[in-house]
DNA sequence: GTGATGACGCAGT
DNA sequence: GACTGCGCCATCA
């Protein structure tokens, strides 16, 4: 299966998110400087279904909310994976989100 | 080619 | 802090 050009870009950024940290769609989009935050989420939607190795659970929206958990096969899986890395989830939102936030460009 | 969709983000109120 | 509306642009029908 051919992977759309945008998806591969997202995989690379998401794949370099350090464990125990999270990032937002906007930051990824800004780092890629290709499209918008919507494109990131759009790409991840296929990514999760396609590449289970992809730590898409570390990607949340600008509110720190697990907006895409419903897209995971078991929606509960996303929260489980985050807690597994030490990230606490409350009311489907990342606790201390700003502290755990990791910015791609900041990593350079 | 046209129209609608979407795991979002931001400005305005 | 909350809600509303608009922009974003690749992908799908």
Nucleic strand C within 7 A of Cβ A18 = no
CA of A42 to C1' of B6 (A): 6
pTM of the model: 0.91
pLDDT score recorded for residue A14: 92
Give me the A residues in range 33-52 that sit within 7 A (CB) of strand B.
Answer: 36-42, 44-45, 47-48
- Please give the average pLDDT of every successive group of 10 residues along chain A, which has 108 residues: 80 92 94 88 84 88 91 89 93 92 83
pLDDT score recorded for residue A1: 60
pLDDT score recorded for residue A106: 74
Nucleic strand B within 7 A of Cβ A94 = no
| Distance set, CA A86 to CA A19, A20, A25, A65, A89 (Å) | 9, 6, 21, 16, 9
């Amino acid at each position: 299966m051919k992977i759309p050009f945008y998806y591969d870009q997202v995989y690379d950024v998401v794949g370099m998110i350090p464990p125990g940290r999270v990032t937002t769609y906007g930051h990824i989009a800004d780092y890629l400087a290709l499209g918008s935050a919507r494109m990131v989420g759009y790409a991840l939607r296929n990514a999760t279904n396609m590449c289970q190795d992809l730590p898409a659970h570390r990607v949340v929206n600008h509110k720190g909310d697990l907006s895409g958990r419903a897209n995971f096969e078991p929606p509960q899986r996303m929260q489980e994976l985050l807690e597994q890395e030490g990230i606490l989830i409350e009311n489907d939102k990342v606790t201390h989100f700003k502290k755990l936030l990791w910015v791609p460009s900041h990593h350079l």
